[in-house]
C-alpha cells in the first residue's frame, strides 16, 4: 500500500502523530498490515506495543507484551543513581524486576566499567532484556537471572540496587487505559501496592555493600508509607528525588 494511503488510514484510527511514527518505523506496509495496525489503534493498544519500541533516556528499547513499556518518570531513577556516581568507581549494580532492562542498561551505558545483574520473575521479560542488552552492545555487562523480590537468586553484594517494582493497588482507578496492555505482574501489588517494597526491604539487606545505596521508584503519595517500611527494616533514609512533574518519584536508602 502507498505510504500516504497508509498514513491516512492510521491517522483516522488514532491521530497524525501516531500515524507518522508507525509509517516512519515501517515504511511500506501491506494493506493487511495497515488494517491490522489500525484495528489495534482503535482498541487503544499503545504505539510502543505495536512497533515494539520505546525510547528511554535517549535510547530505543525493544518492548512487547511481557514487559512494562518504559515511562519518562522512571528516568528520574537513572538520574538519581548517576547523580551519586563519583566518576571513578567501577560500580556493581543490581536491578530488581528488570523488565526491558532499560534502567540497568541506561546506568551501565553511562558508567564506564560498570557491570550488573538484572533479576525478573518473568522469563518473557528476561528474553526482552537479553535482546536489549545485546542491541546496545552491553551483552557482557549485564547478567540476567530468573528470580523474585523475595529470592533474587544472587549471592553477592552490590554498590547500587535499583528497582521499579509493581506499586499500583488493585482496583486503583487512576491507571490509564494504555496500562491494560502491560503485564499485570509488573503493575499491581498487594497490600495497597506496598507488597514488593516490603519484600525488597527484607531481601536487599544482604545484597547491599555497607557503603552502597538502594534506589526505589515509588508512586504518587507513597513516600511516607515506603519510608516507614524501610526504616522499620533497618534502612537509613538518604533523600527523595522529584520527577519533572514535581512529584516525589525516587527514594534513596542506605544501611
Could you read off the pLDDT of 194-249 as tens digits, one per residue?
A: 999 999 999 999 999 999 999 999 999 999 999 999 999 999 999 999 999 999 99
Whether 205 and 110 map to the same domain: the answer is yes
Q: What spatial distance separates the first Cα and last Cα of the chain, rounded to whole Å?
A: 60
d(CA 209, CA 154): 14
Is 48 part of a structural domain of the chain?
no
Whether 36 and 83 map to the same domain: the answer is no
Is 167 part of a structural domain of the chain?
yes
What is the pLDDT of the chain when averaged over all its residues? 95
Could you read off the pLDDT of 155-178 as tens digits, one per residue?
A: 999 999 999 999 999 877 667 778
Question: Can you give the length of the chain in residues?
Answer: 255
Could you read off the pLDDT of 9-63 as tens digits, one per residue?
A: 999 999 999 999 999 999 889 999 999 999 999 999 999 999 999 999 999 999 9
d(CA 132, CA 136): 6
Whether 110 and 11 map to the same domain: the answer is no
Is 39 part of a structural domain of the chain?
yes
Residue 66 and residue 34 in contact, taking contact as beta carbons nearer than 8 Å: no
Structure confidence at residue 173 (pLDDT):
65
Whether 167 and 89 map to the same domain: the answer is yes
Residue 245 is part of a domain; what is its CATH number? 3.40.50.150
d(CA 102, CA 133): 9
Whether 19 and 87 map to the same domain: the answer is no
Whether 75 and 28 map to the same domain: the answer is no
- Is the predicted pLDDT of residue 103 greater than 80, yes or no? yes
Is 146 part of a structural domain of the chain?
yes
Structure confidence at residue 88 (pLDDT):
76
Residue-range definition of the domain harbouring residue 29 = 3-43
Whether 19 and 86 map to the same domain: the answer is no
- pTM value? 0.94
Structure confidence at residue 170 (pLDDT):
81
Is 101 in a helix, a strand, or coil?
A: coil
Count of structural domains, the chain:
2
- The number of beta carbons lying within 10 Å of the beta carbon of residue 184 is 11
Could you read off the pLDDT of 179-192 as tens digits, one per residue?
A: 889 999 999 999 99
Amino acid at each position: 500500500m502507498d505510504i500516504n494511503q497508509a498514513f491516512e488510514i492510521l491517522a483516522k484510527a488514532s491521530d497524525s502523530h501516531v500515524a507518522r511514527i508507525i509509517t516512519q518505523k515501517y515504511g511500506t506496509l501491506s494493506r493487511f498490515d495497515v488494517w491490522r495496525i489500525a484495528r489495534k489503534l482503535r482498541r487503544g493498544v499503545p504505539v510502543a506495543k505495536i512497533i515494539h519500541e520505546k525510547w528511554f533516556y535517549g535510547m530505543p528499547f525493544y518492548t512487547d507484551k511481557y514487559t512494562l513499556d518504559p515511562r519518562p518518570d522512571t528516568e528520574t531513577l537513572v538520574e538519581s543513581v548517576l547523580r551519586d556516581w563519583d566518576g571513578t568507581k567501577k560500580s556493581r549494580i543490581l536491578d530488581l524486576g528488570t523488565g526491558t532492562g532499560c534502567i540497568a542498561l541506561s546506568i551501565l551505558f553511562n558508567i564506564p566499567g560498570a557491570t550488573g545483574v538484572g533479576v525478573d520473575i518473568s522469563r518473557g521479560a528476561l528474553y526482552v532484556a537479553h535482546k536489549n542488552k545485546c542491541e546496545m552492545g552491553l551483552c557482557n555487562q549485564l547478567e540476567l537471572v530468573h528470580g523474585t523480590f523475595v529470592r533474587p537468586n544472587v549471592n553477592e553484594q552490590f554498590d547500587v540496587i535499583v528497582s521499579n517494582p509493581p506499586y499500583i493497588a488493585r482496583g486503583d482507578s487512576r491507571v490509564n487505559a494504555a496500562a491494560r496492555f502491560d503485564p499485570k505482574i509488573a503493575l499491581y501489588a498487594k497490600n495497597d501496592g506496598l507488597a514488593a517494597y516490603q519484600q525488597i526491604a527484607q531481601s536487599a539487606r544482604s545484597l547491599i555493600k555497607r557503603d552502597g545505596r538502594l534506589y526505589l521508584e515509588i508512586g504518587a503519595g507513597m513516600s511516607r508509607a515506603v519510608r516507614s517500611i524501610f526504616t522499620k527494616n533497618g534502612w537509613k533514609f538518604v533523600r527523595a528525588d522529584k520527577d519533572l512533574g514535581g512529584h516525589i518519584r525516587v527514594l534513596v536508602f542506605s544501611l
